Chains A and B, each alone.
Chain A
Amino acid sequence: MPVYQGRFGTQQAERLLWRAGFGPRPGEAGKLARKGLKDAVRSLTRPRGKPRLVGPEPHDEDGLPLAPADAYGHDHLWWLDRMVRTNQPLVERMALSWHDWFATADVGHTQLNLNQNDLFRRMGLGRFDELLHGVTADPAMLVWLSGNENTRRHPNENYARELMELFTLGAGAGYTETDVREQARALTGWTNDWDDNIGAVNFRFEPKSWDAGPKTIFGHTGVFNWQDACNLCLEHPAHADYFVRKLWSYFIPKDVPKKSLGPLIARYRNGYSIRPVVESILMHPLFYEGPRMVKPPVVQIAGMLRAKKSGIWTEDFVWISADAGQLLFDPPNVSGWDEQRWLDTARIGGRWSAAARLTEQFEVIEDGYPVKETPKEAVAKAWRFWGKPTLSKRTEMELQQFANRVEGIITEEWHERSYRALRQNALRILIATSPDFTTA
């Protein structure tokens, strides 16, 4: 398995923190770089101790704590806060990847979605076979893909199809429509009750609604149940390849090189382990040498807040994230978010709003603004404001030219402070909306 051999400096550590987390807090990238590649990666994949949330507690406009299970949008804010304040960013980032992989939207009883989220957090770096079993029996998923309506008498193919198409094998990869129907029979038996006040409750496996007859799946015949349905997918020859490629795609915007595929598959097959595969990806040369990757909107937003050590103080991040194209617990459909659609004029507007809403908290005003600040000092100050993120030479040059141009229109006495203050506010926005900051 190839391992990155180049320099592992602040810039590389910064990319690692963005792709395996939500970006650095001030000084964090430099600190991580000093560990060297292997220890840096392991500090993320094998975090020690209990996860801690560091920084100010989240609250709404009235200073009240969030109510993720009850108030609209608070589920989003609750998770966004964890992304911002966690000291184990990869754990949250893996949960985000699994939320996309097993994309489930609000099932009408939000606590079920929050429970599923906790499953992703607990099992996200463990064994995929256990995760798959957990998701298959997860109440939110049972509601989302009709598993709770899949009975012996009235089989429902919804989960069976997605189990193969999206979760384990890939569209049309080595299964037939008959396999879909037979899988659906194997997956029967889950049920729940309904409470008018709460929604779906009391999920359980009911042997008498399970189809106990023999099924033939992928050419194997047996009296299969829901666990067998999962295991048959895991053992299917197309699975490991699909798993590795899909997991890789969350970290590197290029296909897996042919030579690396075999070793990654071998690593995964050893106990369906997720962590070693993730470690190999995070140490792969292509991770550091390949092109930059567009950050998922929620990652960029969480990262801005991290960079400013800011907590959640407003519900505005609900609509801002929705505008940017990624409201948590609300993926567009069961196949998750389409990263090809992260960037359009409306969504870039959402990212812009996030930068605007945050910089507003730190807005400088003309009163008392340094009247002698040079353009160079102005750029350096705005850059420090965000913790000195990596900027390309071209972007740096354009920022400098902008600062110079503002200097050029300072022609009246009242411009002296005023325009320099406006320039500083503008530079902060320009950095946070630059292609350099939108990608990592």
Chain B
Amino acid sequence: MPPSRPHTCCAEHTRAEFARRTIAEAGKGLPTIEAGMPTPAGTGLSRRSFLLRAGGVALSVYGASMLKPQAFAEGIAEAATGDGRVLLSVFVGGGWDSLSLLAPVLDPTYLQLRPGLKVEPGAGPTWTEDPRLQWHPSAAPLHKLHSEGKVTVMPSIGYAGADQSHFTSRHYWEVGETNVRTNTGWLGRMLDLVGTPDNPMQGLSLDGSLAPSLATAKNPVAATWETEYDLWAPGVWGDVENLMFGAFDRIGAGAVRGGDAGMAASGNVMRQANTLRNQLGSFPDEVSSPVAYPNDRHFASSLKGFAAMLAAGLPIKVASVDAPGDYDTHDDQQADFARNVKETCDGLLAFQRDLEARGLADRVLTLVWSEFGRRPEENGSAGTDHGAGGSAFLIGNGVRGQMVGEWPGLKSLDEDENLRSTADYRGMYCSLLEGWFGVDAGAIIPGASNFARPALLG
């Protein structure tokens, strides 16, 4: 299998965003306002807006003829009375270098394997659980959270017989088993088991396309770009727009009833899209937050918007977002790695503080993972090649805060000269499913009984 292409190419995103803005501005080509006319859509006022007390987020709802604000508020209230536990999966694409995140700075083997890429002693804080290791200076926010007991570290996690293809290894992590044919995600299967057939927000991908780990077989899930989900219709606004979305939903419903499989599949997703649109509405572009985020780029904005969505009581169970940057550092690793880790960790710290300030921190966990670690021996181009054991972190008030699996050391590497895994990712999944969500891992993770359950939660 070929390596997956870097999926977060900055130029592409900037370009797509630019195009989006262009089309949004084109939407301003609305008729002149005359006396007595309603304010056109696009200014947000023609949609029925209401303020949710929780978090003070202004929510606007389209298609109010179908779904009244009151019903919506009731739905939110109902979801809020449940357990409300949430897991956010943060995928670090490309395979991040565990030996830089937690570096054995004084280990002679490390100095020998990493003459050019070694992290300098004293550059970052020592990891209290294993003083041989030192945090990368860019990962200082994780050290801070760890010292508060809010991070469970898995210093070398993976699976036996590590596959060194990005695509295959990521797939294994996404589906929760080492089977290339599985096409539902481990979290998706959980939603099939304990989710509902009418709430696409229960599994939310924040990067604009469905995260494979959330892929379900039967229950709906949703994908948005940050907090935005809107269907823009040129030359349609106000009451006619509301009627149009009503018709959109009814056409979908008609197709579901009609009996043709292709039409029904299409009608179903139309209804999901409309539900999602109602749920998110014109969720304000400028989400207010009780804490400052490091920047307004996609990752930070996604986390900020996600916290606001949770505060608004939106019925989300699992969500996914990609960490910024490409960690496939085959060359010139130092600068790229430092910059990307900093952006990722700064964002995660702000998110945790946001949850704490909003009183949500007890019911949200964040899992940060990557498809593999990197080769201990640096290569000839100031980079590292694909490895095996990688780093994962579980962040939240509910974690135990003690490492799972120990640091394996550089003395005995695996047959490919890679770091051995000391924890199995499937055991971690089982532990989360059972300990956090209280569902039977045996019904979700194949061979669940074979995996030891690490003590992740406090």
A365/B235 in contact, CB under 8 A: yes
CB pair B270–A395 under 8 Å, yes or no, is: no
- B240 touching A406, Cβ below 8 Å: yes
- Kindly specify which of A212-220, A234-242, A428-436 makes contact with the partner chain: A428-436
CB pair A425–B209 under 8 Å, yes or no, is no
Bound CA–CA A307/B208 (angstroms): 28
Contact string, B255-284, partner A, CB cutoff 8 A, digits 1/0? 101101111111111101100100000000
Chain B proximity of A379: nearest CB distance (Å) = 11
**Which of B14-22, B131-139, B358-366 faces chain A?**
B14-22
* CB-based contact B265/A392 at 8 Å: no
State how many angstroms separate the Cβ of A14 from the closest Cβ of chain B: 14
Contacts A333-B1, A346-B209 given; does A426 touch B236 at CB 8 Å: yes
Shortest A62–chain B CB gap in Å is 13
Q: Is B127 an interface residue (CB 8 A)?
A: no
Residue B231 CB within 8 A of the other chain? yes
Is the C-beta of A348 less than 8 angstroms from some C-beta in chain B? yes
Within the assembled complex, what's the spacing in Å between the Cα atoms of A65 and B240?
A: 39
Q: Which of A123-167 contact B (CB under 8 A)?
A: 144-146, 158, 162
Q: Which residues of B contact A356 (CB under 8 A)?
A: 23, 231-234
Would you call B2 an interface residue if the criterion is a C-beta within 8 Å of the partner chain's C-beta atoms?
Answer: yes
Bound CA–CA A346/B280 (angstroms): 13
CB-contacts of A386-425 with B (<8 A):
392, 394-395, 397-399, 401-402, 405-406, 409, 412, 414, 418-419, 421-423, 425
Residues 19-62 of chain B, each 1 if its beta carbon lies under 8 Å from chain A, else 0: 11011001000010010110000000000000000000000000
User: Cβ of B273 and Cβ of A392 under 8 Å apart?
Assistant: no
B248 at the interface (CB under 8 A from A): yes
Q: Would you call B77 an interface residue if the criterion is a C-beta within 8 Å of the partner chain's C-beta atoms?
A: no
Instruction: Contact check, A333 vs B31: say whether CB atoms are below 8 A apart.
Output: no
| Known A340-B183, A422-B237, A426-B236: A291·B251 in contact at CB below 8 Å | no
User: How close is A233's CB to chain B, nearest CB, in angstroms?
Assistant: 19
Q: Verify B260–A292 contact, CB threshold 8 A.
A: yes
In the complex, chain B residues whose CB is within 8 Å of the CB of A363: 234-235
Determine if A402 and B257 form an interchain contact, defined as CB atoms under 8 angstroms apart: no
**In the assembled complex, A44 has its CB within 8 A of some CB on chain B:** no
**Cα distance A409–B244 when bound, in Å?**
13
Least distance between A11 CB and chain B CB atoms (Å): 14
Is B357's CB within 8 Å of the partner chain A?
no
Please encode chain B, from 224 to 248, with 1 for each CB lying within 8 Å of some chain A CB and 0 for all others. 1100010111111111110110111
B232 touches A435 (CB 8 A): no
Q: State the main secondary structure of chain B at its contact with A.
A: helix
Size band of the interface chain B makes with A: 35 or more
Contact between B221 and A344 (Cβ–Cβ < 8 Å)?
yes
Smallest beta-carbon distance B42→chain A, Å: 13
A162 to chain B, nearest CB (A): 8
Q: Is the CB of B200 within 8 A of A345?
A: yes
**Are B262 and A294 in contact (CB-based, < 8 A)?**
yes
Q: Which of A392, A402, A422 contacts B247 (CB 8 A)?
A: A402
Q: Are A401 and B247 in contact (CB under 8 A)?
A: yes
Complex alpha-carbon distance, A153 and B323, angstroms: 39
Query: Known contacts A333-B4, A360-B26, A435-B251; is A426 also within 8 Å of B233 by CB?
Result: yes
A439 and B263 within 8 A (CB): yes
CB distance from B447 to the nearest CB of A (A): 20
Chain A residues with CB below 8 A from B263, complex form: 291-292, 392, 435-436, 439
Check if B335 is an interface residue, CB within 8 A of chain A.
no
Distance in angstroms from B327 CB to nearest chain A CB is 19
Considering the chains assembled together, what is the distance between the CA atoms of A325 and B208 in angstroms? Answer: 10
Q: Give the distance to chain A from B171, nearest Cβ to Cβ, in Å.
A: 9
- CA–CA, A359 and B26, complex, Å: 12
Bound CA span A366–B257, Å: 36
Q: Does A171 belong to the interface (CB within 8 Å)?
A: yes
Q: Which of A179-187, A255-263, A316-324 contacts B (4 or more CB under 8 A)?
A: A316-324
Interface residue? A168 (CB, 8 A) = no
Q: Which of B23, B205, B257, B262 contacts A353 (CB 8 A)?
A: B23
B95 part of interface (Cβ distance < 8 Å)? no
CA distance A57 to B309 in the complex (A): 46
A293 within 8 A of B: yes
CA distance in complex: A418, B263 (Å): 33
CB < 8 Å neighbour of A343 from B234, B247, B266: B266
Select which of A145, A292, A433 is within 8 A of B270 by beta carbon: A433
Chain A residues near B12 (CB-CB < 8 A):
72
CB neighbours (8 Å) of A359 from chain B are 234-235
Q: Tell me if A344 and B223 are in contact (CB < 8 A).
A: yes
Please determine whether A105 and B5 come into contact, CB atoms closer than 8 angstroms: yes
Query: What's the Cα separation between A323 and B229 when bound, in Å?
Result: 12
**B269 contacts A343, C-beta separation under 8 Å:** yes
In contact, B209 and A325 (Cβ under 8 angstroms): yes
Establish whether residues A323 and B272, one from each chain, have CB atoms under 8 Å apart when the complex forms.
Answer: no
Interface centre among B34, B233, B261 (most CB of A within 10 A): B233
Contacts of B251 in A (CB 8 A): 394-395, 398-399, 430, 434-435
Residues in A whose Cβ lies below 8 Å from that of B208? 323, 346
Say which residue of B235, B243, B264, B276 sits within 8 Å of A345 (CB atoms): B276
Interface of chain B residues 168 through 200 with chain A (CB within 8 A): 181, 183, 200
With A334-B1, A414-B34 in contact, is A394–B243 under 8 Å at CB? no
> Pick the contact of B16 from A253, A322, A436 — CB < 8 Å?
A322
Contact of B36 among A145, A414, A436 (CB under 8 A): A414
* Contact A158:B235 (CB < 8 A) given known A349-B229, A418-B31: no
Q: Is B254 an interface residue (CB 8 A)?
A: yes
Cα(A392)–Cα(B264), bound, Å: 12
For residue A230, give the distance in angstroms from its CB to the closest CB of chain B: 20
14 further interface pairs, Cβ-Cβ under 8 Å (given A292-B261, A399-B247, A425-B236)? A294-B262, A318-B16, A319-B19, A334-B1, A343-B269, A345-B223, A348-B273, A349-B273, A352-B231, A360-B235, A402-B246, A419-B239, A423-B240, A425-B233
6 closest A-B pairs by beta carbon, nearest first, are A346-B223, A292-B262, A425-B235, A394-B254, A435-B266, A402-B247
Between A and B, 16 residue pairs with Cβ closer than 8 Å are A105-B2, A291-B261, A294-B266, A319-B19, A325-B209, A343-B268, A345-B220, A345-B269, A347-B223, A360-B26, A392-B254, A399-B251, A422-B241, A435-B255, A439-B260, A439-B262
Q: A residues touching B (Cβ–Cβ < 8 Å)? A: 72-73, 105-106, 144-146, 158, 162, 171, 253, 291-294, 315-316, 318-319, 322-323, 325, 330, 333-334, 338, 340-341, 343-349, 352-353, 356-357, 359-360, 363-366, 392, 394-395, 397-399, 401-402, 405-406, 409, 412, 414, 418-419, 421-423, 425-426, 429-430, 433-436, 438-439
